[in-house]
Chains A and B, each alone.
Chain A
Amino acid sequence: MTLAEYLRRQNAAIVLLVDIDYDTADPIRLSTLPYITEPGDSDANVLFAPVVAKRGLPRLSQRLRDVWGGLAVASWGDLPLVSHRVNHNGTERNLATESLRGRSLRLRITGPRSLVPYSEARTIFIGRIAEATARSDGSLRLTLEDTSAAWLDAVLPPARYDAAAMPPGFPASNDGKPRPMVVGKVAHARPALIDATNHIYEFDAYAGAGNVTVHSMYDNGAAVAFTDNGDGTVTLVNPPSGVITGTPEVTLTNGTNTNEEWQIAEHLLTTYGGVTTFNHWTSGVTGSAAYAGVYLSERTTLGEVVGRIARGMFGWCAMAPDGSVSLQALDVPAAGGPTITAAQRLGDVEWRDLPTRYNRIPVLYERNDAPRDTVAASVGLDFGAYLQSEGNEGAAEDAADITTRGLLEAPRMTTPYLTPDLAYSNSVSAANRALALLSSDRRRVSFAVAWAAWNWDYGLGDSLTLDGTPVDGDYLITAFERTRVGGIAAIRIEAVG
């Protein structure tokens, strides 16, 4: 019997399997109910010590707190153990005497081994132990956290300039400053001067020779002659007179373009965040060739960059239950996904109509251009004005389909959303998705579904259909929490429809 078949039973005895140090050769195995693998299983003859408190399923909460937030908010509860002494391959292991903080941990659910094969066990969490609290009664409480902290706080760009290792013409004022980074293609990025004598500028110090192309260079907005050195640097033919900008493009080491938002996010997360698995769903948001990019010349964090990318595509980024990182675009609720009926609901449905102002947030997308104070005399007035502005703020407002939605009520935002897209059409596409979701009346619903009745293939950002309630219809899942209702494990859902 598959796990999915077993979980359809209303009285399914769900077994939680816990693997501490799951990515090592000698994990510590714990469970809620007695569980022993068979000799033919991938982990042969393994005893999972049933020390997890019987109702100790750790709470998981993931929430899109703000559609403009970019990053989903997640929190994890505790995993209580009735004993810190466990049978580990026949010998006693006292977890209270070990340093548990930071150890990797995996949670899986399955059914009784006599009914459900071990291979069917489904991962619902991959993370690590944030805190462990042992008590004199022998119990132990593990506080879990996902691995997002590892990449959220990673510093970008990672390297700094060391004047001693640079050419003789390296300006002393740049010593210790971050070496810039390009992923994808960006326009009018301002490079770092690394050789004032020979007019050499650097856009990227990470992609490696052969993976960086500089398409054009500008001096106060006017195109100038240059030599692309192929290693992320350019040499200007003539001495500069104003602000130097350019349009560099970085492809991956295997030659693949980083054209789209998800490709940029994946590259950054896997290269600098230690993320091993990345999933994306962009809801039709795809970039044309080399039409998206990020340029990082000041110290920031990977979380901020990925969050900015997610915001720019009107989406969100979060850790998926299996430990991968997921980047998704928000879209209007559509038919599909699981249908939730009264037979599955443990909690009453609560709903509220969202306030009108929620629907009136203006959507402004900005091209990834650097503003400058002065422009060359040869630059046309319109382009010059554009270059001197904060970017392309008003552009999205001009689209007819946006104008008809009354967006001009509030044409400017204090902080425009920066899109990594160079394609105007892609920015408009994202803006229109936002408007489609927010410019009509929406209803937020909250309800709980029996754990055994939940379709585990669906989660945050997915569509679902409510059936048999006063608010039937299609919804978008915006919050997902593992909880209990009347002592029964349940999933609490919040959705916008």
Chain B
Amino acid sequence: MPRTGNLIIGGRDKVSGATLGAGSAAATLPVTNLATQAPAEVWRTTSAAPADTYITADFGGLTLIDLVSLIAHNLTQGAGQWRIRLSQDGPIGPVDSPGVALEYDSGWMNAWPVVEPFGVLPWGEFRWGGQLTSDEAAALVISEHHVLEQGVLAQYLRIDLDDAGNADGYLQAGRLFVSPVWQTAVNFDRQWDIQVQDDSVRQRSAANVVYSEPMPQYRILRLALSWMDQGEAFVQAMDLDWRQGVTGEIVIIPRPDDTDYLYFTALYGQIARSQPIKNRRAPGYYGREYTIEELR
């Protein structure tokens, strides 16, 4: 059961400091690529066989885990599944023989997001199962975010990927993001916005034919928190600024309840600008505006 309620921000990535392992990896695309900021730098398995398609992480000590995100993966729509397990005792073995006591087991989950609730598009245009076609997916970043219902203390993580029939013959992912989360006590203000930013340029020829240079698009999410108390403002918001600034990375899930549109609103990105935490006119309340730009 995913966590519901207010805005969730994961801003204390544990993967970059972890010891990563994998069932397999192409020599030139190692599993350590999952810790780099750019999802374009992928980890790629040598085959799609389940024995080759798992990720392990040793965080070096007990750490609180609320959120596990797998960014820019190529798992197949419908068939592709993932499973998250956490332990305090030691490295976790295969699904049928973990070998250690588990603190958490997500069970097998669909690795594709729902991108279109049933009935939104007319007959003939809608996507069966509310999921993208492969062609559409190729132009987008397919990511899965799993927020644990409650935080779990663990040192060892294992993610199994199951997509043996993947047509690529391998599985890959661009970023693994594991973090505790900050879920705001009061949700963000109503006037929030999200846009798809396209920095491509266009030019018309002498005969008015348009030529353009397409650039990868990315999303920009803008929202404001206006009702943080002093503790939340400093312990969470200011701590997030200290840790990530405008160069670190976060996962932000504005509306965790709304799983139908989670794919559109949840993103892996950076805080684009430093902004002040302002004391509101109401005594004891603080606010901050956020602009988050997606990383691709």
Interface of A toward B, CB cutoff 8 Å: 10-14, 33-34, 36, 38-39, 44-47, 49-50, 54-55, 87, 89-91, 114, 341-346, 348, 450-453, 468, 485-489
Contact = CB atoms under 8 A, between A and B. Distances in A.
B211 A10 contact: yes
Given A34-B38, A45-B27, 11 more contacts: A34-B296, A38-B168, A45-B26, A45-B28, A47-B28, A47-B40, A54-B215, A346-B211, A453-B211, A486-B201, A488-B211
Interface stretch (B29-37, B58-66, B90-98, B224-232): B29-37
Contacts of B199: 54
B201 A488 contact: yes
Contacts of A344: 205, 209
Interface string B259-274: 0000000000000000
A239 to B, nearest CB: 73
Most buried by B among A44, A45, A341: A45
Nearest to B170: A39
B171 to A, nearest CB: 12
Interface string B198-217: 01011101110111111110
Q: Which 6 A-B pairs have the closest CB atoms?
A: A34-B40, A90-B30, A487-B201, A45-B26, A342-B207, A486-B203
A341 B207 CA distance: 8
B38 A485 contact: no
A55 B201 CA distance: 10
A14 B213 contact: yes
Contacts of B207: 341-343, 345, 468
Given A342-B205, A345-B206, A34 B212 contact: no
B2 interface: no
Most buried by A among B32, B199, B205: B205
B150 to A, nearest CB: 34
A34 B201 contact: no
B28 A10 contact: no
Contact of A345 (B33, B40, B41, B205): B205
Interface string B143-171: 00000000000000000000000001110
Contact of A47 (B42, B168, B202, B210): B42
A39 B24 CA distance: 14
Contacts, number: 103
B30 A89 contact: yes
Interface residues of B, number: 33
Most buried by A among B29, B33, B169, B206: B206
Contacts of B41: 47, 49, 87
What secondary structure prevails in chain B residues at the interface with A? loop
Contacts of B33: 47, 87, 90
B211 A50 contact: no
B24 to A, nearest CB: 12
Contact of B206 (A47, A50, A342, A452): A342
B28 A39 contact: no
Nearest to B169: A39
12 contacts: A11-B210, A11-B211, A36-B29, A39-B170, A45-B29, A47-B29, A47-B33, A50-B38, A55-B213, A90-B32, A343-B206, A450-B211
Contacts of B282: none
A45 B44 contact: yes
A10 B206 contact: no
B138 interface: yes
Contact of A488 (B32, B44, B206, B212): B212
Nearest to A88: B28
Interface in B5-30: 26-30
A10 B169 contact: no
A487 B205 contact: no
A1 to B, nearest CB: 13
Nearest to B32: A90
A13 B213 contact: yes
A29 B213 CA distance: 22
A452 B211 contact: yes
Given A10-B211, A486-B201, A487-B213, A89 B27 contact: yes
B36 A87 contact: yes
A10 B44 contact: no
A134 B89 CA distance: 47
A31 B170 CA distance: 23
Interface in B31-86: 32-33, 36, 38, 40-42, 44
A10 B29 contact: no
B55 to A, nearest CB: 14
A89 B28 contact: yes
B202 A90 contact: no
B270 to A, nearest CB: 15
A11 B214 contact: yes
A497 B3 CA distance: 72
Most buried by A among B28, B199, B207: B28
Nearest to A14: B213
